[in-house]
Structure 1
Amino acid sequence: MEVFWARGYSGASIAELTAEMGINSPSLYAAFSSKEALFREAVSLYLATATAGTLKALEGDLSTRDSVAAMLLAAAEGCTAPGKPKGCLIVLGAANGGPDTQAMQQHLSDCRKETPRRIRRRLERGVKEGELPDGLDLDGIAAYFSTIINGFSIEARDGATIDALHHIVGHAMLGWDALTAPRAGQ
Protein backbone atom coordinates (compact mmCIF):
# COMPACT_ATOMS: atom_id res chain seq x y z
CA MET A 1 0.00 0.00 0.00
CA GLU A 2 2.71 2.47 0.95
CA VAL A 3 4.66 1.86 -2.27
CA PHE A 4 1.57 2.76 -4.31
CA TRP A 5 0.86 5.65 -1.93
CA ALA A 6 4.35 7.08 -2.37
CA ARG A 7 4.84 6.33 -6.07
CA GLY A 8 1.36 6.03 -7.56
CA TYR A 9 0.12 3.20 -9.72
CA SER A 10 2.37 3.90 -12.70
CA GLY A 11 5.44 4.74 -10.63
CA ALA A 12 5.36 1.58 -8.50
CA SER A 13 7.39 -1.14 -10.16
CA ILE A 14 6.82 -4.83 -9.64
CA ALA A 15 10.37 -5.03 -8.29
CA GLU A 16 9.61 -2.37 -5.63
CA LEU A 17 6.32 -3.99 -4.73
CA THR A 18 7.77 -7.48 -4.34
CA ALA A 19 10.76 -6.17 -2.38
CA GLU A 20 8.46 -4.32 0.02
CA MET A 21 6.24 -7.38 0.41
CA GLY A 22 9.19 -9.75 0.80
CA ILE A 23 8.02 -12.03 -2.02
CA ASN A 24 9.05 -12.75 -5.59
CA SER A 25 7.14 -11.86 -8.77
CA PRO A 26 5.57 -15.31 -9.29
CA SER A 27 4.23 -15.18 -5.73
CA LEU A 28 2.75 -11.73 -6.32
CA TYR A 29 0.99 -12.89 -9.46
CA ALA A 30 -0.17 -16.10 -7.78
CA ALA A 31 -1.69 -14.11 -4.92
CA PHE A 32 -3.11 -11.14 -6.86
CA SER A 33 -3.06 -12.16 -10.55
CA SER A 34 -1.98 -8.65 -11.65
CA LYS A 35 -0.55 -5.33 -10.56
CA GLU A 36 -4.03 -3.86 -11.05
CA ALA A 37 -5.59 -6.36 -8.64
CA LEU A 38 -2.85 -5.66 -6.09
CA PHE A 39 -3.48 -1.92 -6.48
CA ARG A 40 -7.20 -2.41 -5.88
CA GLU A 41 -6.40 -4.37 -2.70
CA ALA A 42 -4.01 -1.64 -1.59
CA VAL A 43 -6.69 1.00 -2.17
CA SER A 44 -9.20 -1.04 -0.14
CA LEU A 45 -6.69 -1.34 2.70
CA TYR A 46 -5.94 2.38 2.50
CA LEU A 47 -9.63 3.26 2.70
CA ALA A 48 -10.13 0.93 5.66
CA THR A 49 -7.12 2.18 7.60
CA ALA A 50 -5.37 5.39 6.56
CA THR A 51 -8.49 7.41 5.71
CA ALA A 52 -11.04 5.75 7.98
CA GLY A 53 -11.01 8.61 10.49
CA THR A 54 -11.60 11.31 7.90
CA LEU A 55 -15.13 10.33 6.89
CA LYS A 56 -15.89 8.76 10.27
CA ALA A 57 -15.70 12.28 11.70
CA LEU A 58 -19.00 12.97 9.94
CA GLU A 59 -20.73 10.38 12.10
CA GLY A 60 -21.54 10.73 15.77
CA ASP A 61 -23.08 13.47 17.84
CA LEU A 62 -21.03 16.55 16.93
CA SER A 63 -22.85 19.44 15.30
CA THR A 64 -22.74 19.46 11.51
CA ARG A 65 -20.22 22.31 11.56
CA ASP A 66 -17.99 20.56 14.10
CA SER A 67 -18.27 17.29 12.16
CA VAL A 68 -17.09 18.97 8.97
CA ALA A 69 -14.24 20.71 10.81
CA ALA A 70 -13.22 17.39 12.43
CA MET A 71 -13.28 15.74 9.01
CA LEU A 72 -10.99 18.43 7.58
CA LEU A 73 -8.60 18.15 10.53
CA ALA A 74 -8.49 14.35 10.18
CA ALA A 75 -7.76 14.67 6.46
CA ALA A 76 -4.98 17.16 7.14
CA GLU A 77 -3.44 14.81 9.70
CA GLY A 78 -3.71 11.84 7.33
CA CYS A 79 -1.93 13.74 4.57
CA THR A 80 0.98 14.67 6.85
CA ALA A 81 1.24 11.60 9.10
CA PRO A 82 4.81 11.04 10.31
CA GLY A 83 6.50 8.05 8.74
CA LYS A 84 3.92 7.76 5.95
CA PRO A 85 3.95 9.03 2.38
CA LYS A 86 2.68 12.59 2.12
CA GLY A 87 -0.67 13.26 0.50
CA CYS A 88 -3.49 10.86 -0.23
CA LEU A 89 -3.32 7.66 -2.27
CA ILE A 90 -6.89 8.19 -3.50
CA VAL A 91 -6.09 11.67 -4.83
CA LEU A 92 -2.57 11.10 -6.13
CA GLY A 93 -2.40 7.35 -6.85
CA ALA A 94 -3.29 7.51 -10.53
CA ALA A 95 -3.63 11.18 -11.33
CA ASN A 96 -1.66 10.79 -14.54
CA GLY A 97 -1.03 7.99 -16.93
CA GLY A 98 -1.70 6.62 -20.33
CA PRO A 99 -4.31 4.23 -21.61
CA ASP A 100 -2.89 1.44 -19.46
CA THR A 101 -3.88 3.32 -16.30
CA GLN A 102 -7.39 4.40 -17.28
CA ALA A 103 -9.06 1.66 -15.23
CA MET A 104 -7.09 2.68 -12.15
CA GLN A 105 -7.80 6.36 -12.77
CA GLN A 106 -11.51 5.53 -12.94
CA HIS A 107 -11.32 3.38 -9.82
CA LEU A 108 -9.79 6.22 -7.81
CA SER A 109 -12.26 8.70 -9.28
CA ASP A 110 -15.08 6.46 -8.05
CA CYS A 111 -13.46 6.33 -4.60
CA ARG A 112 -13.08 10.13 -4.49
CA LYS A 113 -16.79 10.57 -5.25
CA GLU A 114 -17.61 8.97 -1.91
CA THR A 115 -16.28 12.00 0.00
CA PRO A 116 -18.82 14.56 -1.27
CA ARG A 117 -21.58 11.94 -0.98
CA ARG A 118 -20.77 11.39 2.69
CA ILE A 119 -20.47 15.12 3.36
CA ARG A 120 -23.85 15.66 1.69
CA ARG A 121 -25.43 12.95 3.86
CA ARG A 122 -24.11 14.73 6.97
CA LEU A 123 -25.47 18.04 5.71
CA GLU A 124 -28.84 16.39 4.99
CA ARG A 125 -28.84 15.12 8.55
CA GLY A 126 -28.18 18.67 9.76
CA VAL A 127 -31.17 19.91 7.75
CA LYS A 128 -33.39 17.06 9.00
CA GLU A 129 -32.43 17.79 12.61
CA GLY A 130 -33.17 21.50 12.17
CA GLU A 131 -29.58 22.58 12.58
CA LEU A 132 -29.33 23.80 8.98
CA PRO A 133 -32.03 25.56 6.95
CA ASP A 134 -33.86 23.99 4.03
CA GLY A 135 -32.92 25.12 0.55
CA LEU A 136 -29.15 25.06 0.88
CA ASP A 137 -26.97 24.04 -2.05
CA LEU A 138 -25.90 20.82 -0.35
CA ASP A 139 -24.08 19.53 -3.42
CA GLY A 140 -22.11 22.78 -3.69
CA ILE A 141 -21.21 22.79 0.00
CA ALA A 142 -20.16 19.14 -0.15
CA ALA A 143 -18.06 19.79 -3.26
CA TYR A 144 -16.40 22.78 -1.57
CA PHE A 145 -15.23 20.81 1.45
CA SER A 146 -14.31 17.77 -0.65
CA THR A 147 -12.16 19.98 -2.87
CA ILE A 148 -10.36 21.33 0.18
CA ILE A 149 -9.56 17.77 1.26
CA ASN A 150 -8.25 16.94 -2.21
CA GLY A 151 -6.11 20.07 -2.13
CA PHE A 152 -4.53 18.98 1.15
CA SER A 153 -3.01 16.07 -0.72
CA ILE A 154 -1.20 18.31 -3.19
CA GLU A 155 -0.13 20.73 -0.47
CA ALA A 156 1.24 17.91 1.71
CA ARG A 157 3.08 16.31 -1.22
CA ASP A 158 4.65 19.71 -1.87
CA GLY A 159 5.88 19.92 1.73
CA ALA A 160 3.08 21.62 3.68
CA THR A 161 3.19 20.86 7.39
CA ILE A 162 0.29 19.84 9.60
CA ASP A 163 0.29 23.37 11.02
CA ALA A 164 -0.07 24.83 7.53
CA LEU A 165 -2.97 22.50 6.75
CA HIS A 166 -4.63 23.28 10.10
CA HIS A 167 -4.37 26.95 9.15
CA ILE A 168 -6.19 26.15 5.89
CA VAL A 169 -8.91 24.35 7.87
CA GLY A 170 -9.40 27.50 9.91
CA HIS A 171 -9.80 29.58 6.77
CA ALA A 172 -12.13 27.04 5.17
CA MET A 173 -14.39 27.06 8.20
CA LEU A 174 -14.64 30.86 8.08
CA GLY A 175 -16.99 30.32 5.16
CA TRP A 176 -19.34 28.02 7.08
CA ASP A 177 -21.83 30.72 8.09
CA ALA A 178 -22.06 32.13 4.57
CA LEU A 179 -22.45 28.67 3.04
CA THR A 180 -25.16 27.61 5.48
CA ALA A 181 -27.12 30.86 5.87
CA PRO A 182 -30.77 30.79 4.84
CA ARG A 183 -31.24 32.08 1.29
CA ALA A 184 -33.25 35.23 0.67
CA GLY A 185 -36.94 34.50 0.34
CA GLN A 186 -36.86 31.37 2.51
Structure 2
Amino acid sequence: METRRKGPSGRPRGFDADEALERAMLAFWEHGYEGASLSCLTQAMGISTTSMYAAFGNKQELFRKALERYATGPSDYLVRALEQPSAHGVATELLTGTIRTTTRPAGPQGCLGVQGALVASDSGQEVRDLLAAWRNESHRFVLERFRRAVDEGDLPPETDPALLARYVTTLAFGVAVQAAGGVCRDELQAMADAALRNWPPF
Protein backbone atom coordinates (compact mmCIF):
# COMPACT_ATOMS: atom_id res chain seq x y z
CA MET A 1 0.00 0.00 0.00
CA GLU A 2 1.46 3.36 -1.05
CA THR A 3 1.95 5.85 1.74
CA ARG A 4 1.42 9.45 0.65
CA ARG A 5 3.56 12.13 2.21
CA LYS A 6 1.65 14.82 3.90
CA GLY A 7 2.30 18.44 3.10
CA PRO A 8 2.96 21.05 5.77
CA SER A 9 0.17 21.17 8.32
CA GLY A 10 -2.51 23.72 7.53
CA ARG A 11 -0.91 24.71 4.21
CA PRO A 12 -1.46 23.21 0.76
CA ARG A 13 1.58 21.59 -0.84
CA GLY A 14 1.13 23.52 -4.03
CA PHE A 15 2.48 27.08 -4.21
CA ASP A 16 3.72 29.48 -6.84
CA ALA A 17 7.49 28.89 -6.84
CA ASP A 18 8.10 31.95 -9.01
CA GLU A 19 6.23 34.22 -6.62
CA ALA A 20 7.97 32.62 -3.63
CA LEU A 21 11.38 33.27 -5.19
CA GLU A 22 10.42 36.88 -5.91
CA ARG A 23 9.54 37.35 -2.25
CA ALA A 24 12.78 35.68 -1.15
CA MET A 25 14.74 38.03 -3.40
CA LEU A 26 13.05 41.04 -1.79
CA ALA A 27 13.74 39.68 1.70
CA PHE A 28 17.44 39.17 0.93
CA TRP A 29 17.57 42.58 -0.74
CA GLU A 30 16.10 44.28 2.32
CA HIS A 31 17.84 42.34 5.09
CA GLY A 32 21.01 40.97 3.53
CA TYR A 33 22.06 37.32 3.60
CA GLU A 34 22.51 36.96 7.35
CA GLY A 35 19.73 39.36 8.28
CA ALA A 36 17.22 37.27 6.37
CA SER A 37 16.73 34.39 8.80
CA LEU A 38 14.97 31.21 7.79
CA SER A 39 11.84 32.32 9.63
CA CYS A 40 12.01 35.71 7.89
CA LEU A 41 12.38 34.03 4.51
CA THR A 42 9.65 31.45 4.94
CA GLN A 43 7.26 34.05 6.29
CA ALA A 44 7.98 36.31 3.33
CA MET A 45 7.64 33.42 0.89
CA GLY A 46 4.47 32.10 2.51
CA ILE A 47 5.76 28.52 2.75
CA SER A 48 7.17 26.18 5.38
CA THR A 49 10.85 25.53 5.90
CA THR A 50 10.35 22.00 4.59
CA SER A 51 8.79 23.33 1.38
CA MET A 52 11.56 25.89 1.00
CA TYR A 53 14.29 23.24 1.22
CA ALA A 54 12.41 20.92 -1.11
CA ALA A 55 11.88 23.58 -3.76
CA PHE A 56 15.02 25.71 -3.52
CA GLY A 57 17.67 23.83 -1.53
CA ASN A 58 19.43 25.33 1.46
CA LYS A 59 19.67 29.03 2.30
CA GLN A 60 22.81 29.58 0.22
CA GLU A 61 21.22 27.96 -2.81
CA LEU A 62 18.08 30.03 -2.32
CA PHE A 63 20.25 33.15 -2.21
CA ARG A 64 22.01 32.09 -5.42
CA LYS A 65 18.65 31.70 -7.15
CA ALA A 66 17.47 35.04 -5.74
CA LEU A 67 20.61 36.74 -7.07
CA GLU A 68 20.00 35.23 -10.52
CA ARG A 69 16.47 36.59 -10.41
CA TYR A 70 17.78 39.98 -9.34
CA ALA A 71 20.23 40.01 -12.26
CA THR A 72 17.52 39.31 -14.82
CA GLY A 73 14.90 41.48 -13.12
CA PRO A 74 15.66 44.66 -11.18
CA SER A 75 19.32 44.67 -12.32
CA ASP A 76 18.66 44.01 -16.02
CA TYR A 77 19.59 47.63 -16.78
CA LEU A 78 23.14 46.31 -17.31
CA VAL A 79 21.97 44.43 -20.39
CA ARG A 80 20.27 47.54 -21.75
CA ALA A 81 23.37 49.60 -20.99
CA LEU A 82 25.66 47.27 -22.92
CA GLU A 83 23.37 47.55 -25.95
CA GLN A 84 23.76 51.34 -26.18
CA PRO A 85 25.39 52.49 -29.44
CA SER A 86 28.15 54.50 -27.74
CA ALA A 87 30.43 54.04 -24.76
CA HIS A 88 29.08 57.24 -23.25
CA GLY A 89 25.58 55.82 -23.64
CA VAL A 90 26.71 52.63 -21.89
CA ALA A 91 28.02 54.59 -18.90
CA THR A 92 24.98 56.87 -18.80
CA GLU A 93 22.47 54.02 -18.90
CA LEU A 94 24.44 51.99 -16.36
CA LEU A 95 24.50 54.82 -13.83
CA THR A 96 20.93 55.89 -14.50
CA GLY A 97 19.71 52.31 -14.21
CA THR A 98 21.60 51.85 -10.96
CA ILE A 99 20.09 55.02 -9.52
CA ARG A 100 16.60 54.08 -10.64
CA THR A 101 16.82 50.58 -9.17
CA THR A 102 18.51 51.45 -5.88
CA THR A 103 16.16 54.35 -5.04
CA ARG A 104 12.82 52.76 -5.82
CA PRO A 105 9.96 54.52 -3.98
CA ALA A 106 8.53 51.14 -2.97
CA GLY A 107 10.76 48.27 -1.99
CA PRO A 108 14.31 47.83 -0.72
CA GLN A 109 16.93 50.53 -1.25
CA GLY A 110 20.46 49.88 -2.41
CA CYS A 111 21.65 46.85 -4.38
CA LEU A 112 21.32 43.19 -3.47
CA GLY A 113 24.59 42.44 -5.28
CA VAL A 114 26.56 45.05 -3.32
CA GLN A 115 25.15 44.79 0.20
CA GLY A 116 23.83 41.24 0.33
CA ALA A 117 26.74 39.86 2.37
CA LEU A 118 28.69 42.88 3.60
CA VAL A 119 28.34 41.82 7.22
CA ALA A 120 28.26 38.06 6.71
CA SER A 121 30.28 35.98 9.17
CA ASP A 122 32.79 33.30 8.18
CA SER A 123 29.89 30.96 7.47
CA GLY A 124 28.80 33.37 4.74
CA GLN A 125 32.13 33.30 2.89
CA GLU A 126 30.58 31.38 -0.02
CA VAL A 127 27.95 34.09 -0.39
CA ARG A 128 30.58 36.85 -0.26
CA ASP A 129 32.53 35.02 -2.96
CA LEU A 130 29.38 34.65 -5.04
CA LEU A 131 28.65 38.38 -4.86
CA ALA A 132 32.27 39.30 -5.62
CA ALA A 133 32.10 37.11 -8.72
CA TRP A 134 28.79 38.75 -9.69
CA ARG A 135 30.30 42.23 -9.42
CA ASN A 136 33.46 41.18 -11.26
CA GLU A 137 31.36 39.78 -14.08
CA SER A 138 29.57 43.12 -14.41
CA HIS A 139 32.95 44.84 -14.68
CA ARG A 140 34.12 42.33 -17.28
CA PHE A 141 31.07 42.95 -19.46
CA VAL A 142 31.64 46.72 -19.35
CA LEU A 143 35.36 46.26 -20.03
CA GLU A 144 34.66 44.16 -23.13
CA ARG A 145 32.18 46.76 -24.37
CA PHE A 146 34.70 49.61 -23.88
CA ARG A 147 37.41 47.64 -25.65
CA ARG A 148 35.08 47.34 -28.60
CA ALA A 149 34.40 51.07 -28.41
CA VAL A 150 38.15 51.74 -28.69
CA ASP A 151 38.47 49.34 -31.63
CA GLU A 152 35.53 51.00 -33.40
CA GLY A 153 36.85 54.53 -32.83
CA ASP A 154 34.04 55.51 -30.48
CA LEU A 155 36.64 56.08 -27.74
CA PRO A 156 40.03 57.73 -28.35
CA PRO A 157 42.80 55.21 -29.09
CA GLU A 158 44.74 56.26 -25.98
CA THR A 159 41.80 55.36 -23.72
CA ASP A 160 42.50 52.70 -21.10
CA PRO A 161 39.31 50.61 -21.32
CA ALA A 162 40.14 48.65 -18.16
CA LEU A 163 40.56 51.81 -16.09
CA LEU A 164 37.46 53.38 -17.63
CA ALA A 165 35.39 50.26 -16.92
CA ARG A 166 36.61 50.19 -13.32
CA TYR A 167 35.78 53.88 -12.96
CA VAL A 168 32.22 53.48 -14.21
CA THR A 169 31.42 50.28 -12.31
CA THR A 170 32.92 51.69 -9.10
CA LEU A 171 30.68 54.73 -9.50
CA ALA A 172 27.68 52.44 -9.98
CA PHE A 173 28.48 50.35 -6.91
CA GLY A 174 29.12 53.52 -4.92
CA VAL A 175 25.72 54.82 -5.97
CA ALA A 176 24.16 51.66 -4.54
CA VAL A 177 25.88 52.14 -1.19
CA GLN A 178 24.85 55.80 -1.02
CA ALA A 179 21.26 54.94 -1.97
CA ALA A 180 21.11 52.37 0.83
CA GLY A 181 22.24 55.12 3.18
CA GLY A 182 19.31 57.31 2.18
CA VAL A 183 20.85 59.65 -0.39
CA CYS A 184 18.04 60.81 -2.66
CA ARG A 185 17.67 60.04 -6.36
CA ASP A 186 18.12 63.64 -7.51
CA GLU A 187 21.42 64.02 -5.64
CA LEU A 188 22.75 60.75 -7.01
CA GLN A 189 21.72 61.70 -10.54
CA ALA A 190 23.49 65.06 -10.19
CA MET A 191 26.63 63.20 -9.11
CA ALA A 192 26.41 60.85 -12.09
CA ASP A 193 25.91 63.75 -14.50
CA ALA A 194 28.96 65.52 -13.05
CA ALA A 195 31.08 62.37 -13.26
CA LEU A 196 30.29 61.95 -16.96
CA ARG A 197 30.52 65.60 -17.91
CA ASN A 198 34.09 65.23 -19.20
CA TRP A 199 34.00 62.01 -21.17
CA PRO A 200 36.13 59.99 -21.25
CA PRO A 201 37.96 60.89 -18.04
CA PHE A 202 41.07 58.82 -18.88
- TM-score, normalised with respect to structure 1: 0.91
- Distance in 1 (CA, whole Å) between partners of 2:168 and 2:79 is 12
**2:65 corresponds to:** 41
| 1:152 counterpart letter in structure 2 | V
- Distance in 1 (CA, whole Å) between partners of 2:79 and 2:168 is 12
CA contact (8 A) 1:55 1:115 kept: no
CA contact (8 A) 2:67 2:112 kept: yes
- Distance in 2 (CA, whole Å) between partners of 1:172 and 1:60 is 19
| 1:9 counterpart letter in structure 2 | Y
| 1:37 counterpart letter in structure 2 | E
| 1:18 counterpart letter in structure 2 | T
Shift in CA distance, 75/144, structure 1 to aligned 2, threshold 3 Å: same
CA contact (8 A) 1:3 1:17 kept: yes
Considering only CA atoms, is the larger Rg found in Structure 1 or Structure 2? 2
Deviation beyond 4 Å, 4+ runs, structure 1: none
Gap regions ≥5 residues in structure 2: 1-24
Identity of aligned residues (%): 34
Query: What is the count of residue pairs matched by the alignment?
Result: 178
- Distance in 2 (CA, whole Å) between partners of 1:38 and 1:178 is 40
C-alpha RMSD over aligned residues? 1.3
Gap regions ≥5 residues in structure 1: 180-186
C-alpha offsets along residues 160-182 of structure 1, whole Å, 9 cap, x if unaligned?
Answer: 11111111111110242432xxx
The answer to whether residue 57 in structure 2 is matched with residue 29 in structure 1 is: no
The answer to whether residue 80 in structure 2 is matched with residue 75 in structure 1 is: no
| 2:65 counterpart letter in structure 1 | E
CA contact (8 A) 1:55 1:118 kept: no
Shift in Å, 1:99:
1.2
CA contact (8 A) 1:54 1:72 kept: no
| 1:52 counterpart letter in structure 2 | D
- Distance in 1 (CA, whole Å) between partners of 2:75 and 2:186 is 19
The answer to whether residue 189 in structure 2 is matched with residue 166 in structure 1 is: yes
CA contact (8 A) 1:94 1:101 kept: yes
C-alpha offsets along residues 123-173 of structure 1, whole Å, 9 cap, x if unaligned?
Answer: 112112111122322111111111111111111111111111111111110
| 1:126 counterpart letter in structure 2 | A
**1:110 corresponds to:** 133
| 1:131 counterpart letter in structure 2 | D
